[in-house]
Amino acid sequence: MKTRIFLLLISLSALSIANAQQAITLKQAIETSLANNISIKQGANAIESARIGLEQDRMSRLPSFNAGAGQSINFGRSVNPYDNQVVENQQVNSNNLSLSASVNLFNGFQNRYSIQQKELNLKAGNEDLGTTRNNIILGVVESYANVLGNKALLASAKSQLESTRAQIERTEKLVAAGKLASAFLFDLKAQLATEETNQVIAENNLELAKLNLAQWMQVSPEGVQDVIEPNLNFNTAADKSAAEVYAQAESNQPQIKAAQTRVLSSEKGIDLAKSAFYPSLVLQGGLFTNYSSLAKKVIITPLETPVYRKFGDFLLEDAVSGTQIPVSISQRIDASQNLQELSWGNQFNNNLRKGISLNLNIPIFNGYQARFAQENARIGKRNAELQLEQEKNRLRQTIESAVANEKAARKRMEAVEKQIKALEESWRLSEQRFNLGVLNSVDYLQAKNNLSRAENDKARFRYDFFIRRALLDFYMGKELDFN
């Protein structure tokens, strides 16, 4: 028996430790949400892609250097690439090699403006990622506060249920003693059934709130078993107007910075479009050579004894006598000639060609494409300016609502706290009178329900004010530190 009790205590202790380990803080919820959010990862990939595009433009200012090689085999009638002679019914193997380089000396500052524009786009992308992070943080804070609020409502429902059960036990004794009528007991049991239903509803709402938080964190529902209430300061007041809060928020909100940066980027886009009207200057140079399997080299070897090669016999007529005289013609050959195939190395040197060129391109007429591009760039700037104004208006309206909601939430919380103090005293007196049998069950339950509703309102108003207060702090650039 002792062993079973010991094992049971160990199991309960382990279960308690496991539940404690599963309770998460607001900071953990935010960090997990940021780490798992797909939009954050997509934004990071977009920034990396923009960074690569920027580096690509920067490197495009450097000279380009390329090497080339080719191999060809021709049959039948073809041209010998070594001497450009036509050959018949022979196989010609040939190679060509090349090294070339080019550098853009001037292109109307296109590279400069493109690099500046992409630097601004990269900065705007980082601000967009900051906006996404902020939206996620605010969403998690609201969802976390919703869990805390429903947790408080469930605790209130349980407390009310236990209070009713305790009152039923006292009433049963009073009814048994004949001090109260049975109708009092029946009313309390009906109230107990209602409060049991309220507890079930509160439990379901809490589970739904936990599910919503788990979805923000992008973890399984089992990953959010419980939450830990952060350090909440309900005593600080904003005491600032919406205009004052907006003046602070405009300079630190990433969506405003992103829109401002895109206006600057659109200005660079206009400069980039204008650069198409300027001429461009390109310097090029290269080395080229080729090889042919039919390339031959003539080898001349002197002869020790000259050789005479007879061309033929001819008859010459004597102009005086008219007789024909036989004549033999020969050529003296002092050296012999042989053909030798040229090696690849020899042909590389013999066929080496070098070249350099400076190319100037002056745009004269291109179908008004440059002009249209410039007009589109100007339209893009106007759209960027309108987007900036829209972001400012949206932020201003959000802050105006946030300031009003914060003040209203504070007043609701202060009012319900005063109400609870009065209702607690009223319910205490009602309970005493009910136990003495001088107060009917309807009035008693009404006093109890009034207190319960006020306590539920306090739980809701408490965390609603927390959200509104955190939102204002966020817009004023304060660090949301809840630990």
What domains sit in the chain, N to C, each tagged with a CATH number?
24-62+108-277+365-475 (1.20.1600.10), 64-106+279-295+345-362 (2.20.200), 296-341 (no CATH)
Contact 441, 216 (CB under 8 A): no
How high is the pLDDT of residue 394?
Answer: 94
Give per-residue pLDDT as tens, 131-190: 999 999 989 988 998 898 888 888 888 888 887 787 788 778 777 877 767 777 887 788
336 vs 228: CA distance, rounded Å: 106
Task: Give mean pLDDT, residues 433-439.
Answer: 69
Single pTM value for the model: 0.75
Give per-residue pLDDT as tens, 218-265: 999 888 999 888 776 655 555 778 888 898 889 889 999 999 999 999
Indicate the average pLDDT of the chain.
82
Closest C-alpha among 442, 412, 400, 434 to residue 174: 434
Which of 138-147, 335-344, 428-437 ranks highest by mean pLDDT? 138-147
2 vs 5: CA distance, rounded Å: 5
Name the least confident of 66-70, 266-270, 337-341.
337-341
Split at pLDDT 50, 70, 90, the class of 384 is very high
How high is the pLDDT of residue 112?
Answer: 93
DSSP code, position 366: S
Give CA 81 to chain center in angstroms: 56
Give per-residue pLDDT as tens, 110-132: 999 999 999 999 999 999 999 99
Q: Burial of 295 by CB count in 10 Å (0-12 exposed, 13-18 middle, 19+ buried)?
A: buried
Split at pLDDT 50, 70, 90, the class of 444 is low
How high is the pLDDT of residue 315?
Answer: 73
Residue 28 has pLDDT above 60, yes or no: yes
Task: Give mean pLDDT, residues 85-106.
Answer: 85
How high is the pLDDT of residue 178?
Answer: 76
Task: Give mean pLDDT, residues 80-91.
Answer: 76
Q: Which helix (H) or strand (E) holds 358?
A: strand 353-361
How high is the pLDDT of residue 20?
Answer: 42
How high is the pLDDT of residue 392?
Answer: 94
How high is the pLDDT of residue 382?
Answer: 96
